[in-house]
Amino acid sequence: MDSGTYFGEFNRRDWRTASEGTVRIAVVGLGGFARNRALPAIRDSDFCEATVLVSGSPDKAASLADEFGTERTVSYDAFREGEAADRYDAAYVSTPPAFHDEYAVAAADLGKHVLCEKPLAATVADAERMVDACADAGVVLMTAYRLRTEPAIRRMREAIRDGAIGDPVQIHAGFSSRLLDNAGPESWRLDPDVAGGGALMDLGVYPLNTSRFLLDADPVAVSAETQSSGAPFDRVEEHAALLLTFPDGVTASCTASFGGHHDSRLQVLGTEGQVIVHSPFGGHATEGVVLARGEARTSYAGRPVDEVCEEFDYFADCVLDGGTCESDGEEGYADLRIIDRAYEAAEIGERVAVHASR
Amino acid sequence: MDSGTYFGEFNRRDWRTASEGTVRIAVVGLGGFARNRALPAIRDSDFCEATVLVSGSPDKAASLADEFGTERTVSYDAFREGEAADRYDAAYVSTPPAFHDEYAVAAADLGKHVLCEKPLAATVADAERMVDACADAGVVLMTAYRLRTEPAIRRMREAIRDGAIGDPVQIHAGFSSRLLDNAGPESWRLDPDVAGGGALMDLGVYPLNTSRFLLDADPVAVSAETQSSGAPFDRVEEHAALLLTFPDGVTASCTASFGGHHDSRLQVLGTEGQVIVHSPFGGHATEGVVLARGEARTSYAGRPVDEVCEEFDYFADCVLDGGTCESDGEEGYADLRIIDRAYEAAEIGERVAVHASR
């Protein structure tokens, strides 16, 4: 096996079809990530264009429309009523999770494709409604798991799939980010009705979904611990730790924390080698990849790409090609099912069986 | 806080007392670790001398006695009967775990101090008998947790204790070593009656004990998974994964594997920073230490020391000083209690409460 298979043309877009065109996007919700990452990524993308901004704040929307050259700004109510629907082909839903279903379903009812931030919804029931609405409307519903288009993760997935590390045995993955460094105690992330949960929902979904993606499998059971040090983490968990069991006895030890020093890491240990990704979940390019097999270690720290840009172009490719989207609504739904079981496991202190898919 | 506190004089022996002298050691059991690591370490130590070799193989014992210049070789039966007892002050018990108690108790009854390999015994009851016998005889019983004298682990423990990473939040630690690369299917490590268990007993005790040491705390609960891919791992587990809960909600995700690619790693995440130790458990010097605090990262990869040599000199210092031994029999006993609970947790699929100490 030649490691060059994975490290040559590292940033290649293996998912690209022959489809060309432009997908016009309504950006629904103009929070920090939408402003600082999504709008610049759409601007820099090959196949997307932000044409409509949807916000409850006309001033903020107008200022961003000016900055990014979008055609229209509309209010949330107007969006739901179909205003400016002829100006966009798809909605990027970037509101807090509890509002995802409302805008995703509205978009689907208007015949628009949907790219929705993760977690897909605040509850399993909401996610199910979104999946059904998009299926009924015949539109693409993609969950915005940007790691799935991040080249390091895609290359390492290929390596694992090809048996480069033998059979996977154990995963260690964690994501921590100090919430209060960037938000006050009024943050929606501290409100379980809006966020759907705490660190596990907001951060834990990255190690969880990435583990599932790299193993190409769903967990069958989960044990969990959730912890908080007190206010303002008295309504959602500050820290979470999962022990997931996958088929063939593979385990994934996944952690998430709103209180831990900013860090993310990922290790997939196999019988013949291992994959290590440094800083996989931090929102920017990974800081390096190591593929070890036997005594050989190959590391990669090449030119990074903007994974958010990759994500939008991947979404556009799915829309333009009319084909399947790997990171679909069922994927987001499955993670919510698993998280739901994890919360139960933490509460009752038992290993809980998981049936991730519908 | 100045990182130099920890990285200056990295290899200092902070445990040294003013006591001087030489502890004469009977090496009981001449397996691979005793031959390749312990005997050379004793030879290179400041305060130990191997004077007696105890083995069931007279030829092997004679050859090693010649190589290391020891005074006497005796059989296991003769050792138990006190032969050559005037030639040694302490026994280093390096047999498989199921025989630890027999030789440790025999040594204690002869008034000899005991340094016993980990896990301390094959069962909790055996460990308890050993602890009691050594207490009754008034001799030192040290469990051979060499990590506790490894400078990287000691320095990082000081840093954590001083609050250099804030409050600890989550630990990820793992140790994997492919058993069948170095042993056949007849290995005693595959016999639960001799080894006391599988990967969790033999390898998992490292991340477990090191987590306890670094946190200076005992877990209060454990969830666990044990897995095997089939023969020859049909009597002991090939892989194990623990989710340990410590006081204040700190969690430790610890894994061990007889089937995974050789690797060990350790991360202690805190609210203000983190500690990472590369290859902590592999049996040789760690490959590097990182202490991160805020935006600053200090790494250390200085001159390694032989942690086994450190361990023997630490043991000798405890014996010569007549004081307390930090890595005592109670420590080994506590880990066996936790492992016992972990096996139960894996079997019944529940989070199990742990009372580590007697």
Nearest chain A residue to B237, by CA: A249
- Tell me the pLDDT tens digit for each residue of A298-311: 998 878 889 999 99
What is the three-class DSSP state of B327?
coil
Q: How many residues does chain A have?
A: 358
Q: Does B306 touch chain A (CB under 8 A)?
A: no
Q: In the predicted model, is pLDDT for residue A312 greater than 70?
A: yes
**Does residue B198 share a domain with residue B99?**
no
* Contacts of B292-299 spanning 24+ positions with Cβ under 8 A: B292/A261, B292/A263, B292/B165, B293/B1, B293/B3, B293/B164, B293/B165, B296/B3, B298/B3, B298/B7
Q: In the predicted model, is pLDDT for residue B283 greater than 80?
A: no
Q: Do residues B191 and B322 touch, judged by C-beta distance below 8 A?
A: no
Comparing B39 with B3, the larger pLDDT belongs to: B39
Q: Do B269 and A249 touch (CB under 8 A)?
A: no
Q: Do A269 and B165 touch (CB under 8 A)?
A: no
Residues sharing a CB contact under 8 Å with residue B56, sequence separation 6 or more, in sequence order: B75, B76
Comparing A282 with A251, the larger pLDDT belongs to: A251
**Does residue A86 share a domain with residue A12?**
yes
Query: Region A36-49: what's the mean pLDDT?
Result: 98
Nearest chain B Cα distance for residue A246, angstroms: 11
Q: Is the peptide bond before B247 cis (omega within 30 degrees of 0)?
A: no
CATH of the domain at B223: 3.30.360.10
Q: Does A282 touch chain B (CB under 8 A)?
A: no
For the ranges A64-68, A317-321, B295-299, which has the lowest average pLDDT?
A: B295-299
pLDDT score recorded for residue B287: 67
pLDDT score recorded for residue B286: 63
Q: Do B239 and A249 touch (CB under 8 A)?
A: yes
CA dihedral (A323, A328, A334, A335) positive or negative: positive
For the ranges A4-8, B87-91, B206-210, B331-335, which has the lowest average pLDDT?
A: A4-8
Q: Which member of A170, A242, A349 has the closest CB to residue B260? A: A170
On whether residue A308 sits in a domain, the answer given is no
pLDDT score recorded for residue B356: 85
pLDDT score recorded for residue A358: 80
- Tell me the pLDDT tens digit for each residue of B213-266: 999 999 999 999 999 999 999 999 999 999 999 999 999 999 999 999 999 999
Q: How confident is the model at residue B193 (pLDDT cuts 50, 70, 90)?
A: very high
CATH of the domain at B129: 3.40.50.720
pLDDT score recorded for residue A356: 85
Q: Which residues of B touch A220 (CB under 8 A)?
A: none
Q: In the predicted model, is pLDDT for residue A4 greater than 80?
A: no
**Does residue B274 share a domain with residue B133?**
no
Q: Which member of B172, B260, B349 has the closest CB to residue A255? A: B172
Q: Do A259 and B241 touch (CB under 8 A)?
A: no
CA dist., res. A315 & res. A319, Å (int): 6
On whether residue B204 sits in a domain, the answer given is yes
Q: In the predicted model, is pLDDT for residue A1 greater than 60?
A: no
**Does residue A87 share a domain with residue A185?**
no
Q: How confident is the model at residue B205 (pLDDT cuts 50, 70, 90)?
A: very high
Q: Does B223 touch chain A (CB under 8 A)?
A: yes
Spatial strand order of the sheet with B273-278 comes to B296-300, B288-293, B273-278, B263-270, B168-176, B251-257, B239-245, B221-227, B352-353
pLDDT score recorded for residue B327: 96
**Does residue B79 share a domain with residue B44?**
yes
In 3D space, the residue among B304, B127, B343 whose CA is nearest the CA of residue B226 turns out to be B343
Q: Do residues B115 and B332 touch, judged by C-beta distance below 8 A?
A: no
Q: What percent of chain B has pLDDT over 70?
A: 97
Distance of CA A320 to the CA centre of its chain: 21
Q: Does B354 touch chain A (CB under 8 A)?
A: no
pLDDT score recorded for residue B3: 65
CA dist., res. B278 & res. B220, Å (int): 27
Number of domains in chain B: 2
Q: Point out the domain boundary residue: A146, A167, A191.
A: A146
pLDDT score recorded for residue A323: 81
Q: In the predicted model, is pLDDT for residue B22 greater than 80?
A: yes
Q: How confident is the model at residue A286 (pLDDT cuts 50, 70, 90)?
A: low
Q: Does B166 touch chain A (CB under 8 A)?
A: yes
On whether residue A311 sits in a domain, the answer given is no
**Does residue B196 share a domain with residue B240?**
yes
Across chain B, mean pLDDT equals 95
Q: In the predicted model, is pLDDT for residue B1 greater than 80?
A: no
pLDDT score recorded for residue B162: 96
Q: Which member of A229, A239, A292 has the closest CB to residue B170? A: A239
pLDDT score recorded for residue B321: 96
Nearest chain B Cα distance for residue A222, angstroms: 10
**Does residue B34 share a domain with residue B94?**
yes
φ/ψ region of A157 (left if φ > 0, alpha if ψ in -120 to 50, else beta) reads alpha
Q: Do B178 and A271 touch (CB under 8 A)?
A: yes
Query: Region B274-286: what's the mean pLDDT?
Result: 84
Q: Do A170 and B165 touch (CB under 8 A)?
A: no
Q: Do B172 and A172 touch (CB under 8 A)?
A: yes
- Tell me the pLDDT tens digit for each residue of A10-28: 899 999 999 999 999 999 9
Q: In the predicted model, is pLDDT for residue B202 greater than 60?
A: yes
For the record, the structure tokens of B84 come out as 């050559």
pLDDT score recorded for residue B222: 98
Query: Region B140-155: what's the mean pLDDT?
Result: 95
Among A4-8, A179-183, B196-200, B324-328, top mean pLDDT goes to: B196-200
Q: Do B224 and A245 touch (CB under 8 A)?
A: no
DSSP code of residue B235: S
Q: How confident is the model at residue B6 (pLDDT cuts 50, 70, 90)?
A: confident
Query: Region B117-125: what's the mean pLDDT?
Result: 98
Q: Which member of B245, B255, B261 has the closest CB to residue A253? A: B255
Q: How confident is the model at residue B9 (pLDDT cuts 50, 70, 90)?
A: confident
Q: Does A279 touch chain B (CB under 8 A)?
A: no
Q: Which domain holds residue B74?
A: 14-146
Nearest chain A residue to B256, by CA: A170
Using only C-alpha atoms, what is the Rg of chain B? 20
On whether residue A24 sits in a domain, the answer given is yes
Nearest chain B Cα distance for residue A163, angstroms: 13
Q: Does A358 touch chain B (CB under 8 A)?
A: no
Q: Do B349 and A349 touch (CB under 8 A)?
A: no
Q: Point out the domain boundary residue: B146, B180, B208.
A: B146
Comparing B6 with A43, the larger pLDDT belongs to: A43
Spatial strand order of the sheet with A113-116 comes to A72-74, A48-54, A23-28, A90-93, A113-116, A141-143
Nearest chain B Cα distance for residue A101, angstroms: 33
**Does residue A32 share a domain with residue A164?**
no
On whether residue B51 sits in a domain, the answer given is yes
Query: Region A200-223: what's the mean pLDDT?
Result: 98
CA dist., res. A2 & res. A293, Å (int): 10
On whether residue A180 sits in a domain, the answer given is yes
Q: Point out the domain boundary residue: B93, B114, B146.
A: B146
Q: Which of A253, A263, A267, A350 to probe the B interface (max B CBs under 10 A)?
A: A253
Q: Which residues of B touch A223 (CB under 8 A)?
A: 223-225, 243, 349, 351
On whether residue B2 sits in a domain, the answer given is no
Q: Does A261 touch chain B (CB under 8 A)?
A: yes
Q: Do A169 and B253 touch (CB under 8 A)?
A: no
In one-letter notation, the amino acid at residue B196 is: G
Q: Do A241 and B228 touch (CB under 8 A)?
A: no
Query: Region B148-176: what's the mean pLDDT?
Result: 96
Q: Which residues of B touch A243 (CB under 8 A)?
A: 223-225, 241-243, 253
Query: Region A326-330: what's the mean pLDDT?
Result: 96
Q: Which member of B224, B255, B272 has the closest CB to residue A172? A: B255
**Does residue A338 share a domain with residue A210?**
yes
Nearest chain B residue to A172, by CA: B172
On whether residue A316 sits in a domain, the answer given is no
Q: Which residues of A touch B227 (CB under 8 A)?
A: 245, 249-251
- Tell me the pLDDT tens digit for each residue of A240-260: 999 999 999 999 999 999 999
Nearest chain A Cα distance for residue B274, angstroms: 7
**Does residue A189 share a domain with residue A133?**
no
**Does residue B71 share a domain with residue B40?**
yes
**Does residue B295 share a domain with residue B177?**
yes
